[in-house]
Structures are given as structure tokens and as C-alpha cells.
């Protein structure tokens, strides 16, 4: 995908948070299998609460996509998340770690759920894809740092495997492709004299729309960073 693709344009404007997420000390510790059981339990307990709203958001993508071709991949992935991979993983991992499936929400978990619920109820397909794409693309980003041999503990290893590999890469490529397809007309003209940050020249409809998408994309990236900060605990990898 070219640097001028809409998804890449969004990602570049979400720095430094993007890089902070994909290289976060907590995520890097997962790739090495060195997260302590107690910290992994707290992280997965909160992430299970995230996955509920995420699953609902996938359902909204099925409903709001602009055609059958686009609906099918969401339906396929939704089936995997809801019935097999992530669900069985969470139950086995939480059982192993002595965790619970129902816990009080940390503030960042509640904020992430609010963002997902906001875009889900908007039924605005482009903003829905933007949030889904952040969640999956940045998880692929950190999981790609894992080196063979993967950690022995299944809690670490399977969490990496769920976010790496050919199938997950294809899923992320699909989400990016949807952003690029839908954002093609919103994409800033590289030859325009534009605002450095957003590419704005004025208040055209395309620019307002672009801003809306960039806004949810950036909010989602910032929440991913804060989620790992929460998991790491005070003083570890916090946003500076
Ligand atoms: C917070 C968060 N973001 C993303 C993912 C990837 N599905 C996740 N499980 N949790």
C-alpha cells in the first residue's frame, strides 16, 4: 500500500501514539513471554470487556457496509471472535490465571467502550471501519515483533498467534483496503497548499468528512496506548 493511501495518511497523523502502541513495553513483554501472571490476568480481564463492544461493532459493520462483498469478511471474522478463537482463548487463559470474566471497568476500558458504542450507534460505516482498523492493525503491529520460538506459555503464545499470521494479515489488509476505498475521494491532494497536519485548505465537505474520520482514528490510537499503559501499571510506559 502506498504512503499516499488514506489508511497510511491516517496512521501517520496518529503519531507519536501509533509507534508508542506498537512498541509498548507491555506489548513487547507479551512477545517475550515475560508479563507476570497477575499483570496478564488484569489485562485480559479488561480486554474481555473490550471484546464485547468490539464484537457488537463488527455486527454494525455487517449492517452498515455498502455491499455484500464487504459484509462477508466481517461476518466471517465475527463468527471467529464470537464462537471460537478469542472466546475460547479468554476462557482458557482466565481460568489458567485465576481471572474473572466480569470485573469493574478501568476508566480506559470504559472510554474505549464508549468510543465503540458511539460509532456503532452512528451506523456510519467509514467511522466504524476506522475504529476496527486501528484495533486490528496496531495489534498486528506489536505482535509482528514476536520472534521464534514464541513463548512457551499458551497465554502469551496464543495471544500473539491470534494477532499475527497470514489470516490476520489478510484481515488487516481488508480493513485498510476498505478505508482506502471509501477514503479515496477524501484523500488530500498532495499538490494542494495544505495544513501540514490534516491536509485542510478550507471547509469543503470532503475536508470535514476527513476530519471526522481522522478524529475517531486518533482517539482509538490514543486509547490503545492508554490501554497498554493501564496494563503496565503506574510508572511503566506511560504516555509522556
Ligand atoms: C484493546 C484491544 N485492542 C485491540 C484488540 C485486537 N482485537 C484487542 N483485543 N484489545
Q: What is the pTM of this model?
A: 0.91
4 has a pLDDT exceeding 50: yes
Distances (CA, A) of 29 to 32, 33, 150, 199: 5, 6, 12, 37
- In CATH terms, is domain 6-232 a member of 1.20.910.10? yes
Contact 151, 157 (CB under 8 A): yes
3-state secondary structure the chain: CCCCCHHHHHHHCCCCHHHHHHCCHHHHHHHHCCCCHHHHHHHHHHHHHHHHHHHHHHHHHHHHCCCHHHHHHHHHHHHHHHHCHHHHHHHHHHHHHCCCCCCCCCHHHHHHHHHHHHHHHHCCHHHHHHHHHHHHHHHHHHHCCCCCCCCCCHHHHHHHHCCCCHHHHHHHHHHHHHHHHHHCCCCCCCCCCCCCCCCCCCCCHHHHHHHHHHHHHHHHHHHHHHHHHHHHCCCCCCCC
Q: Is the CB of 139 under 6 A from ligand 1?
A: yes
Cell of 106: 478501568
Q: Where do the structural domains in the chain lie, given as residue ranges?
A: 6-232
The pLDDT tens digits of the residues spanning 151-165 come to 999 999 999 999 998
Q: Ligand 1 center to residue 166 CA distance, Å?
A: 18
Q: Ligand 1 center to residue 50 CA distance, Å?
A: 7
* ipTM field: 0.96
Handedness of CA 41, 29, 161, 163 (dihedral sign): positive
Q: Ligand 1 center to residue 208 CA distance, Å?
A: 28
Report the distance separating Cα 46 and Cα 31, nearest Å: 19
67 has a pLDDT exceeding 50: yes
The pLDDT tens digits of the residues spanning 172-229 come to 999 999 999 999 888 765 545 445 555 555 557 788 889 999 999 999 999 999 999 9
pLDDT in the model for residue 79: 86
CA angle 100, 56, 223 (to 5 degrees): 70
Q: Ligand 1 center to residue 23 CA distance, Å?
A: 15
Q: Determine the average pLDDT of the residues in 79-103.
A: 88
Q: Residue of the nearest CA to atom 10 in ligand 1?
A: 47
Q: Is the CB of 135 under 6 A from ligand 1?
A: yes
Q: Ligand 1 center to residue 3 CA distance, Å?
A: 25
Q: Is the CB of 89 under 6 A from ligand 1?
A: no
Q: Which ligand 1 atom is the nearest neighbour of the CA of 81?
A: 7
Please list, in sequence order, all residues whose beta carbon lies within 8 angstroms of the beta carbon of residue 102, skipping any fewer than 6 positions away. Answer: none
Q: Is the CB of 227 under 6 A from ligand 1?
A: yes
Contact 236, 25 (CB under 8 A): yes
* Phi and psi torsions of 149, nearest 5°: -75, 140
Amino acid at each position: 500500500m502506498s504512503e499516499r493511501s488514506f489508511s497510511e495518511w491516517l496512521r501517520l497523523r496518529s503519531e507519536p501514539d501509533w509507534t508508542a502502541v506498537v512498541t509498548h513495553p507491555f506489548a513487547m513483554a507479551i512477545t517475550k513471554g515475560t508479563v507476570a501472571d497477575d499483570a496478564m490476568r488484569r489485562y485480559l480481564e479488561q480486554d474481555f470487556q473490550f471484546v464485547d463492544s468490539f464484537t457488537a461493532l463488527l455486527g454494525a459493520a455487517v449492517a452498515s457496509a455498502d455491499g455484500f462483498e464487504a459484509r462477508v469478511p466481517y461476518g466471517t471474522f465475527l463468527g471467529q471472535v464470537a464462537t471460537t478463537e478469542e472466546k475460547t482463548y479468554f476462557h482458557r487463559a482466565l481460568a489458567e490465571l485465576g481471572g474473572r470474566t466480569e470485573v469493574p471497568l478501568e476508566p480506559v476500558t470504559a472510554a474505549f467502550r464508549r468510543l465503540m458504542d458511539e460509532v456503532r450507534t452512528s451506523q456510519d460505516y467509514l467511522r466504524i471501519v476506522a475504529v476496527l482498523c486501528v484495533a486490528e492493525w496496531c495489534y498486528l503491529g506489536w505482535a509482528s515483533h514476536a520472534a521464534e520460538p514464541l513463548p512457551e506459555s499458551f497465554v502469551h503464545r496464543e495471544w500473539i498467534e491470534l494477532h499475527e499470521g497470514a489470516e490476520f494479515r489478510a484481515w488487516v489488509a481488508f480493513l485498510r483496503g476498505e478505508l482506502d476505498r471509501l477514503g479515496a475521494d477524501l484523500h488530500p491532494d498532495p499538490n494542494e497548499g495544505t495544513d501540514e497536519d490534516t491536509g485542510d485548505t478550507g471547509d469543503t465537505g470532503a475536508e470535514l468528512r476527513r476530519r471526522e474520520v481522522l478524529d475517531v482514528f486518533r482517539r482509538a490510537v490514543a486509547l490503545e496506548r492508554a490501554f497498554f499503559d493501564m496494563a503496565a501499571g503506574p510508572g511503566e510506559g506511560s504516555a509522556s
